[in-house]
Amino acid sequence: MDEAFDSDLLRGSLDLMVLGVLADGPKYGYSLQQSLRTASYGRIDPKAGTLYPLLHRLEDDGLIRAKWDTSTGRKRKWYELTAAGKKRLKHQAHEWYAYADILRRLLEPVVAPPQPA
Q: 64-69 and 27-28 as β-strands: parallel, antiparallel, unpaired?
A: unpaired
d(CA 8, CA 24): 26
Number of residues located near DNA, criterion CB under 7 A? 30
Query: Out of 26, 35, 52, 93, which residue is the one contacting DNA (CB under 7 A)?
Result: 52
Phi, psi of 73 (to 5 degrees): -60, -40
Binder to its own copies among 49, 73, 113, 116 (CB under 8 A)?
113
56 in contact with DNA (CB under 7 A): yes
One residue of 23, 26, 31, 93 binding DNA per CB under 7 A: 31
Examine residue 54 and tell whether it contacts DNA (CB under 7 A): yes
Q: Which stretches of 4-110 are assigned E, i.e. beta strand?
A: 27-28, 64-69, 76-81
According to DSSP, the residues that pair with 78 across neighbouring strands are: 28, 67
Query: Where on the chain is the footprint of DNA (CB under 7 A)?
Result: 4, 7-8, 10-12, 14-15, 28-31, 45-50, 52-57, 72-77
